[in-house]
Structure 1
């Protein structure tokens, strides 16, 4: 069975401390449960989670959904947001992990990337340098989410045209966002082989598309 790799880059900088990080954990758990209820996703989906604050950590390596276990995500009380470094780590991981097609083996479907942040990159130069490299990977979709008033839509729009904004990073909003993410993944999973790019489903009222 061909794999559909899905990568999550999650901002865990100090501003996520408290209710936002708890809301993020709960929303991710709900998303995984939603995906597990889809028989096709259960067979093809592989998920990786990378967090970034002052450090970048691969907290779950690329893992099949059927054996995926979500650890509790934590964050420091303060510190920078190294989004550029996160993209650099992602670029290295994708280069090693994505299976290319060969005469004896079908390659993976085009991977999907979801980036979530409530701020803006602290390492702007590296962030700018990594954008063309990430775009060269040929993701089936890159969806970036800016949560809260401190999040910078403009920097995310340099990375992808598919940017959404959340007014808050509270439990209800994040739950709706990650439900929409699971819908996007399921839609992408069903359309693989028929289209190059994943069309985003209509978002709920809490998720605002940035034009």
Structure 2
């Protein structure tokens, strides 16, 4: 069951937020070392944000998993309210479109909560990670691609499509990223990726909401196949 955090936290801490949604493939092909390394990487991400003064107050994370269906593991919350993950079970198919649509629905809901509380927020981030080919609803997939590309074109979303392993369908991931090619994780470099992500969140939190943020492209070499 996902932890649901309302507006109380926003009243206590009115710092502009950096909403980060992790949309993660937990299908059967992720079983074993992949899913274990992914869980370790997510927990490292939490810990790195917790230890960074700027990111600590600004970052909010939600996690959506997709296998044969999509579910919300963690609703948006600040770092002190995020429980570390013990285990994620890998099972079933790859309902990628369903996962992305649930992630976007959750994000839209949180943006409304920010607005109602008078809290500013930075351009949201969507991290999409998969190791295979989508086999859920084709209509849901097309709707997800359209929603993401619309938001990206309106500069209302930054998306990071990342393939895991040689079987990841990079052509599908590329459809979610009109401005830059998707990246393939080098081996199982989940820890290196999430370390890079935490540093990127920290850099964003030190900028002014609305400013254009430039990614640390040099840092990609630490975890991506370039």
TM-score, L = length of structure 2: 0.81
Counterpart of 1:155 in structure 2 is 172
Counterpart of 1:166 in structure 2 is 185
- Of 111, 117, 121, the residue aligned with 2:124 is 111
* Distance in 2 of aligned mates of 1:198 and 1:153: 23
Larger deviation, residues 117-126 vs 144-153: 117-126
- Residue pairs, 1:26-175, within 5 angstroms: 26-77=40-91, 79-99=92-112, 101=115, 105-123=118-136, 124-137=138-151, 138-160=155-177, 161-169=180-188, 173-175=189-191
**1:43 Cα deviation (Å)?**
0.7
Question: Residue 147 of structure 1 contacts residue 165 of structure 1 at CA under 8 Å; is this kept in 2?
Answer: yes
Higher helix share: 2
Question: Residue 183 of structure 1 contacts residue 201 of structure 1 at CA under 8 Å; is this kept in 2?
Answer: no
* Distance in 1 of aligned mates of 2:118 and 2:222: 42
* Distance in 1 of aligned mates of 2:37 and 2:82: 20
Query: What is the DSSP-based 3-state SS (H/G/I as helix, E as strand, rest coil) of the residue aligned with 1:63?
Result: strand
Question: Residue 129 of structure 2 contacts residue 163 of structure 2 at CA under 8 Å; is this kept in 1?
Answer: yes
Counterpart of 1:178 in structure 2 is 194
2:206 aligned with 1:190, yes or no? Answer: yes
Q: Which runs of 5+ in 1 are unaligned?
A: none
Question: Residue 16 of structure 2 contacts residue 209 of structure 2 at CA under 8 Å; is this kept in 1?
Answer: no
2:20 aligned with 1:6, yes or no? Answer: yes
Question: Residue 145 of structure 1 contacts residue 163 of structure 1 at CA under 8 Å; is this kept in 2?
Answer: yes
TM-score, L = length of structure 1: 0.87
* Distance in 2 of aligned mates of 1:131 and 1:165: 19
* Distance in 2 of aligned mates of 1:96 and 1:21: 28
Q: Number of matched residues?
A: 204
* Distance in 1 of aligned mates of 2:207 and 2:30: 34
Counterpart of 2:12 in structure 1 is none
What is the root-mean-square deviation of aligned Cα atoms in Å? Answer: 2.1
Q: Which runs of 5+ in 2 are unaligned?
A: 1-14
Question: Residue 148 of structure 2 contacts residue 157 of structure 2 at CA under 8 Å; is this kept in 1?
Answer: no
* Distance in 2 of aligned mates of 1:134 and 1:158: 9
**1:97 Cα deviation (Å)?**
1.2
Larger deviation, residues 192-201 vs 155-164: 192-201
Larger deviation, residues 193-202 vs 152-161: 193-202
